[in-house]
Amino acid sequence: MRTRKCIQTGEVHPESSLIRFVIAPDGGVTPDIKARAQGRGLWVRANKEVLQAAIKKRSFARAAKENVQVSDDLPVRTQDALERAALDSLGLAKRAGALLCGFDQVRAILQSRRPACLVEASDGAEDGRRKILALAEAKWGGIGVINCFSQVQMGAAIGRAHSTHMALLEGGLADQFMFHGERLCAFRLLFSNETGDKRS
């Protein structure tokens, strides 16, 4: 993966640890989560505190070498965009048959094969999550878990009222989800424990 330099810290990181921003035609700074927009990219480490520091210290204007407009809600818009990208990936994976949903389906897949990652609702019952993680640990030595979404958010991504337990099968769609999901967790200043469980 290509590396880029963070305009705030000056550190070089792989793109998976950074968020790209671009200057819109009106001179405003906007997040380019999928790094596809035209124009020069301004890269910031995927960390809310780093982005807030870049705004406060006018790092965008300095890096762009021009006057730019940075709105106060840029961190909020960036987090929203990261969430949309990750949840859209879940929807794609579901339609492609690469996403299993529900406690029984997730437990069954863990018994037979190692999924790429697990997705657990942040507001789901602790008992159910504990059982899923214990099985993942016993069978596979732990599997990466992202739990920065609510049951309603997860359900909406796949056309349901709510969802609590998900497992992504290995493949490009799982890689895409983890790329966005891990950046979101990093941006929200969440940490991972030994099994990859993301918590605030």
pLDDT band at 190 (very low <50, low <70, confident <90, very high): low
Distance (Å, whole) CA 42 – CA 44? 7
The pLDDT value recorded for residue 199 is: 38
Homologous superfamily of 78-199 in CATH?
A: Ribosomal protein L30/S12 (3.30.1330.30)
Burial 94-128 (b: 16+ CB within 10 A, else e): beeebbbbeeeebbebbeeeebbbbbbbbebeeeb
Residues 100, 105, 107, 108, CA torsion sign: negative
- Decide if pLDDT at 198 tops 60: no
Residue linked to tokens 């960390």: 47
Domain assignments of the chain as residue spans, ordered by start: 3-72, 78-199
The correct CATH number of 3-72 out of 3.30.70.260, 3.30.1230.10, 3.40.50.1000, 3.40.50.300 is: 3.30.1230.10
pTM for this predicted structure: 0.87
Let me know the angle formed at the C-alpha of 138 by 133 and 139, rounded to the nearest 5 degrees.
100
The pLDDT value recorded for residue 7 is: 97
